[in-house]
Amino acid sequence: MTKFDHEPFRMLERCEAALRRMIAGVFHFMTEALPQWLRKSWDDLLGWLGNFSEFCIRFAVRLGRVVFFALVWMLLVFGIPVVAISLGSDSGMVILLAVVWMCLGISGSVWGLYRLRVKQQAALPVRATARTMAGR
């Protein structure tokens, strides 16, 4: 047994080895692990942003179409009554025709929604049959 083979010296040797590994770990983390993680995170972020921007563009286009058709519908149904009333027509017949136009427009809109619902209901069994036939 040498004079430096005692337990306190072995403990210090283990601490020295651990500290050397920690220092090497810091350099390894800074030069290899962190750049790999940043590169992967950047790639993930770019992929997510690409999907998100595509979603936003599609959403904006669809929202624009909905707003456009809503404006066309409002002009079609309420345009003539608003123009007739705003012109200050004193004729009761013009106002009556404008109100009749508006009532017919609203009735036609409700009928159009009803027809859309009927078509959707009629198409359901066809879709289900097509799915079952494709599954066989």
Q: Is residue 23 part of a domain?
A: yes
Measure the CA–CA gap between 91 and 93, rounded to whole angstroms.
5
pLDDT of residue 132: 61
pLDDT of residue 131: 60
Instruction: Give the pLDDT band (50/70/90) at residue 126.
Output: low
Cα angle value 112/57/37 (rounded, 5°): 140
pTM comes to 0.55
Residue 42 CA: distances (Å) to CA of 6, 28, 32, 64, 88: 52, 20, 15, 32, 64
Q: Is residue 22 part of a domain?
A: yes
Measure the CA–CA gap between 74 and 72, rounded to whole angstroms.
5
Domain span including residue 89: 7-135
Q: Whole-angstrom distance between the N-terminal and C-terminal Cα of the chain?
A: 83
Average predicted confidence (pLDDT) for the chain: 84
pLDDT of residue 69: 94
How many other CB atoms sit within 10 Å of the CB of residue 66?
10
Q: Is residue 94 part of a domain?
A: yes
Count structural domains, the chain: 1
What's the mean pLDDT in 47-70?
92
CA nearest to 81, candidates 103, 99, 55: 99
> pLDDT above 70 covers what percent of the chain?
88
Task: Say which amino acid occupies 6.
Answer: H
Instruction: Give the pLDDT band (50/70/90) at residue 136.
Output: low
**Structure confidence by residue, pLDDT tens digits, 62-118:** 999 999 999 999 998 888 888 887 887 677 888 888 889 889 999 999 999 899 898
